[in-house]
Structure 1
């Protein structure tokens, strides 16, 4: 395998249930007022719309991972500012591993405002990167065997 590409979404059943309850609760609250709609302030309307927008937005977000001859890239669309690129020459170690999302990183998503950092969507398998500067970054994957094939092809990995 020459290039590995993976797209992942937040599709956990419990996340769907929570978002649905929040969205329904906000919609019911919004329409339960007896005031006419034109009496609501703009702030009131916007603040009540934010919950459903975020709830629906979670299902539109995708995490993209690409591994090729240049290195490893990961980002969350539609947010290109989240893009991280790691060139092979910048990396000291690369390997797949099983991890504990909650205890190691505090859950899923863009994790680790300090150190270590992780981009993950679901599951407990990931691509562990260690840069030559000693920084760690974990990228969640649902396809660790395919990732291992590409890593072996492009990176002389001492941890196999």
Structure 2
């Protein structure tokens, strides 16, 4: 029988500035690529004409793939009576049973970056946004930090489990 889920959270990258950084170069390159492929150059017209190379098309495809990756990427955190499970889709899934965990606390931290990072203070960091997260310390000394947008609910569940 599956253990009852006590806490579940799904986070995605929703920062406007991040999407602007991802979409702006695609729009600029597409704007420079599309007119030359549609327009037939007029030999009588001596105006500038861009002939798109394969490199630009390859760059556009790579940028579109990165955009697609950010669209599907998500951080799922689940806490049940048996374990804490973190899935950073499409990269990995990790689970720590309570018997392996020395401590698990919700903390407020300084900026540690987004995505998957290594921090001197928190060990391996999985963060999508914000400055609050679940700091996990395992009995073997490994440390993890998992970002959360719902720290109060997470702390309530941790209090129930650890007492």
Please indicate the TM-score interval, normalised by the length of the shorter structure. Answer: 0.7 to 0.9
Residues 75 and 26 of structure 1, relative CA distance in 2, 3 Å threshold: farther
Query: Is the CA contact 2:5–2:78 (under 8 Å) kept in the aligned structure 1?
Result: no
Aligned positions, number: 146
Deviation at 1:31, TM superposition (A): 2.9
Match of 1:11 among 2, 14, 23: 14
Name 1:155's counterpart in structure 2: 162
Cα separation, 2, equivalents of 1:148 and 1:63: 18
Deviation at 1:20, TM superposition (A): 1.8
Asked whether 1:112 is paired with 2:115, we answer: no
TM-score (structure 1 length as normaliser): 0.80
Match of 2:24 among 11, 21, 25: 21
Query: Is the CA contact 1:61–1:76 (under 8 Å) kept in the aligned structure 2?
Result: yes
Q: Secondary structure at the match of 1:54?
A: helix
Name 1:73's counterpart in structure 2: 85
TM-score (structure 2 length as normaliser): 0.78
Name 1:127's counterpart in structure 2: 134
Q: Answer with 1 or 2: which has the greater Rg.
A: 2
Q: Which runs of 5+ in 1 are unaligned?
A: none
Higher alpha-carbon deviation: 61-70 or 47-56:
47-56
Cα separation, 2, equivalents of 1:131 and 1:18: 37
Following superposition, which runs of at least 4 residues in structure 1 exceed 6 angstroms of deviation? Answer: none
Query: Is the CA contact 2:119–2:125 (under 8 Å) kept in the aligned structure 1?
Result: no
Q: Which runs of 5+ in 2 are unaligned?
A: 37-49
